[in-house]
Amino acid sequence: MGEKKFFAVIGLGSFGYYVATKLAEKGYEVIAIDIDENKVDDISNKVTHAIQLNALDEKVLREVGLMDVDVAIIAIKDIATSILLSSFLKEDLKIKYVVAKASDQKHGKVLEKIGVDRIIYPELESADRLANNLISPSIFDIIELSSSHNLVEIKAPDIFVGKTLEEIDLRKRFDINIIAIKRNQPSTTETYKLSYEESIIISPSPKERIIEGDILVMVGLKEHLEKIEKL
Amino acid sequence: MEPDKEKILEAGYFYFQNQKFKKAIKIFEKGLSMFPNDIDIYYNLGIVYESINEIEKAKECFKKVLEIDRDNTDAKKHLEKLVNI
C-alpha cells in the first residue's frame, strides 16, 4: 500500500457532509468545500480543512491546492455547476479519480462523457436497496458486481441452519461462493442482561456450521442468487 | 408456585449463551405471560431477536420497553440502530 489517500469533497449538502465526515472518521485527510459559510462552519472541526469558496472560481481552487488530492468527490445539486466543475477537475487539474453525484440519468450521461471516473445516483441506489429489502426481508444488502453477478448479504435460510458449508454445498449446486459469514455471538454482561458481539468470519472453512441468524455474504450469478433468496 | 423473574432471566440467559435462540425466545415469551410489561424480559427478548437478525420483532420489543419506560437508554440505543437497517 502506498501513502494514505487525500480527498476533497465539494458540496456539503447532506450527502457530501456524510461522505466527508465518514472519510475523516476513518483517518483520511479531507478538504471539505462549500459556498455556504454555515455549512463550512458545521463541518470545520470534523475534517482536515474546511474552506468556504465558490467552486467555479478556478483560480481559488488552484490556490487551495485541489490538484494535489487523489480523489475528488463532487456532491453539488446544481447540474450546471456540477458539470463545469467535473470538467475542470478532470481536464485542467488532472485529478486522478473524480467521483460525482448525479441527480438523474441525463446528468449522469454528461458526467460520463466528461470522463468522470465514477458516477453515483444516491437516490436511485437507496431506492433500489429499499425496494429489494421490501420484496425480500431476508436480504440485507446487494452490491452489483457486474451486469451478471451480484454480491448479496442474506439471512441464512432455516434449512441451512445446523448444516456445514460442505453439507449445503452451494458451490456445486448453484455455483455460488460464500465469502463471509456475519454472526452475532452471545456475550455476557452483568445480571442477566443479554448482549452480543458482531463477528465476521472471512473465507469460512467448509466445516463451518451455520447457526440461526447468520448472515451469509455470497457472490454468484444473479439468477442463482435469487433461487437462494427464495429458499 | 410462580417461578420468580430471576429464574426466567437466568434460564433465557443460559439458552442464549448456548446459541439456543428459539428456546430462549420461548422462555422469555412464557415469562411475559407471567410478568406482563416487564421491561427486563422485553429487553432481553429484543436482544435475542436482534442477534438472530429478526429485525422487526426486535424493534417491537424495544418499542415496548420504551412505551413503559420512556427514558430507557439501552432500548433507545438498540432501536435507533435497527431503524437504520
Q: What is the pLDDT of residues A95-120, one digit of tens each?
A: 999 999 998 889 999 999 999 999 99
Report yes or no on A1 lying in a domain.
no
Grade residue B81 by pLDDT with cuts at 50, 70 and 90. confident
| Domain limits for position B21 | 5-83
Residue of A nearest to B48 (CA): A194
Residue at grid coordinates 428459539: B22
Q: Pick from A137, A184, A188: which is nearest to B51 by CB?
A: A184
User: Domain end: A87, A120, A153, which one?
Assistant: A120
Number of folded domains that form chain B: 1
The rounded distance, in Å, linking the Cα atoms of B75 and B85 is 16
The rounded distance, in Å, linking the Cα atoms of B77 and A33 is 32
Phi first, then psi, for residue A210 (nearest 5°) are -80, 135
Q: Do residues A111 and A195 share a domain?
A: no
**What CATH number should be reported for the domain holding residue B36?**
1.25.40.10
User: Domain end: A86, A103, A120, which one?
Assistant: A120
Measured CA distances, A34 to A39, A118, A142 (Å): 7, 21, 32
Report yes or no on A114 lying in a domain.
yes
- In a mutagenesis test of the A interface, which of B20, B45, B52 is the best target, namely the one with the most A β-carbons within 10 Å? B52
Task: Please determine, for residue A3, whether its predicted confidence score (pLDDT) is greater than 90.
Answer: no
Q: Do residues A67 and A98 share a domain?
A: yes
pTM confidence score:
0.62
- B contact set with A (CB within 8 A): 6, 9-10, 12-13, 16-19, 21-22, 40, 43-44, 47-48, 50-56, 85
pLDDT at A4: 77
CB–CB contact B9 A192 (8 Å): yes
DSSP state letter for A200: E
Q: Are A64 and A31 contacting, i.e. CB atoms less than 8 angstroms apart?
A: yes
Which ipTM did the prediction report? 0.82
Long-range contacts of B14-22 (CB under 8 A, 24+ apart): B16/A186, B16/A194, B16/B44, B16/B47, B16/B48, B16/B51, B17/A186, B17/A188, B18/A186, B19/A186, B19/A211, B19/A212, B21/A212, B21/A213, B21/B48, B21/B51, B21/B52, B22/A212
CB–CB contact B50 A184 (8 Å): yes
User: What is the grid cell recorded at B24?
Assistant: 430462549
Q: Pick from B16, B19, B53: which is nearest to A194 by CB?
A: B16
A192 touches chain B (CB under 8 A): yes
Length, in residues, of chain A: 231
Residue of A nearest to B41 (CA): A193
**What CATH number should be reported for the domain holding residue A216?**
3.30.70.1450
pLDDT at A1: 41
Q: Do residues A12 and A88 share a domain?
A: yes
Number of Cβ pairs < 8 A linking chain A and chain B = 48
Q: Which residues of A135-152 are buried (b: 16+ CB within 10 A; e: fewer)?
A: eeebbbebeeeeeeebbb
Residue type, A68: D
The rounded distance, in Å, linking the Cα atoms of B53 and A140 is 10
Q: Do residues A104 and A147 share a domain?
A: no
Measured CA distances, A96 to A63, A73, A86, A91 (Å): 18, 11, 12, 10
Q: Do residues A10 and A93 share a domain?
A: yes
The rounded distance, in Å, linking the Cα atoms of A122 and A17 is 13
Return the bridge partners of A155, or none.
A215
The rounded distance, in Å, linking the Cα atoms of A196 and A184 is 6
pLDDT tens digits along A49-92: 999 999 899 999 999 999 999 999 999 989 999 999 999 999 99
A193 touches chain B (CB under 8 A): yes
pLDDT tens digits along A191-215: 788 999 989 999 999 999 999 999 9
Residue type, A188: T
Q: Are A58 and A89 contacting, i.e. CB atoms less than 8 angstroms apart?
A: no
Nearest CA to CA, how far is A73 from chain B (Å)? Answer: 24
Q: Are A120 and A99 contacting, i.e. CB atoms less than 8 angstroms apart?
A: yes
Number of folded domains that form chain A: 2
Q: Which residues of A32-54 are buried (b: 16+ CB within 10 A; e: fewer)?
A: bbbbeeebbebbeeebeebbbbe
| Domain limits for position A137 | 125-229
Q: Do residues A131 and A186 share a domain?
A: yes
Residue type, A56: L
The rounded distance, in Å, linking the Cα atoms of B20 and B31 is 17
Q: Do residues A186 and A99 share a domain?
A: no
Q: Do residues A161 and A65 share a domain?
A: no
The rounded distance, in Å, linking the Cα atoms of A75 and B84 is 22
Q: Do residues A99 and A176 share a domain?
A: no
Task: Please determine, for residue A130, whether its predicted confidence score (pLDDT) is greater than 80.
Answer: no
A108 contacts: CB under 8 Å, gap ≥ 6 = A102, A119, A121
pLDDT at B2: 61
User: Domain end: A51, A85, A120, which one?
Assistant: A120
User: What is the grid cell recorded at B16?
Assistant: 442464549
